Amino acid sequence: VGISLRDAACLPETCFTVWSNVVMRGGLSAGERFLIHGGSSGIGTTAIQIARALGARVWATAGSAEKCSACEALGATAINYREADFAEVLHAEGGANLILDMVGGSYIARNLKALADEGRMVFIAFLESPKAEINFAQVMLRRLTITGSTLRPQSDAAKAEIARQLRAQVWPMIEAGKLKVVQDSVFPLEEAASAHARMESSAHIGKIVLRLF
């Protein structure tokens, strides 16, 4: 698709994760309201762009003015989670049809509040905690769907199907300029510890790349 090897190296993990969970599992379609947590992360920046390319309205949470600006530059309405309650913001908009969450913990109950009736919530990680106490009655009363996945344990056939859909649906987005890799920084392999420190600092926006040569 005419991109650099460095950009290409950033695509597999994020695109496989986003497409399989947002589209194949979450069923996002044009016109729907989509909320992504961690909007300035590698997953987040990819999810914003793919969702926008599909015609969805996108909201993204982030923890600083700089990160919110990065999300907005990609086409999302940013919510600084240190200053506003994302559940209240989405509730005022009619609720999210789909939420992609990598936080868990205290976000789980707030996600349910943020969902529209018939809404879907997809988990891909639990940075805070995989445990929460919630009232499941609202799942029935509002006909909500809660699901999630991780790529590693899936079969080769399942991964091949994701790859097939990426080639058919996502690579054309890259060719059309609708999806671009957001890179935070590049470290030589011998400075891998510094790259990990950068990632753990939560200051990065987009992907952190290790250069082999």
Summarised one tens digit per residue, pLDDT across range 9-18 is: 999 999 999 9
**If you average pLDDT over every residue of the chain, what do you get?**
96
- Buried b / exposed e along 152-183 (16+ C-beta atoms within 10 A): eeeeeeeeeebeebbeeebeebbeeeebebbb
CA distance 153 to 78: 33
Contact between 151 and 17 under an 8 Å Cβ cutoff? The reply is yes
Residue 2's pLDDT is 76
Q: How confident is the model over 105-119, as a mean pLDDT?
A: 97
| Residue 98 pLDDT exceeds 90 | yes
Q: What is the pLDDT of residues 41-58, one digit of tens each?
A: 999 999 999 999 999 999
Q: What is the pLDDT of residues 63-87, one digit of tens each?
A: 999 999 999 999 999 999 999 999 9
Tokens 């015609």 found at: 55
Q: What percent of the chain has pLDDT over 70?
A: 100
Q: What is the pLDDT of residues 114-173, one digit of tens each?
A: 999 999 999 999 999 999 999 999 999 999 999 999 999 999 999 999 999 999 999 999
Residues 6+ apart with CB under 8 A from 10: 42, 181, 183, 207, 209
1 falls in which pLDDT band (50, 70, 90)? low
CA distance 196 to 4: 23
Q: What percent of the chain has pLDDT over 90?
A: 94
Residue 203's pLDDT is 87
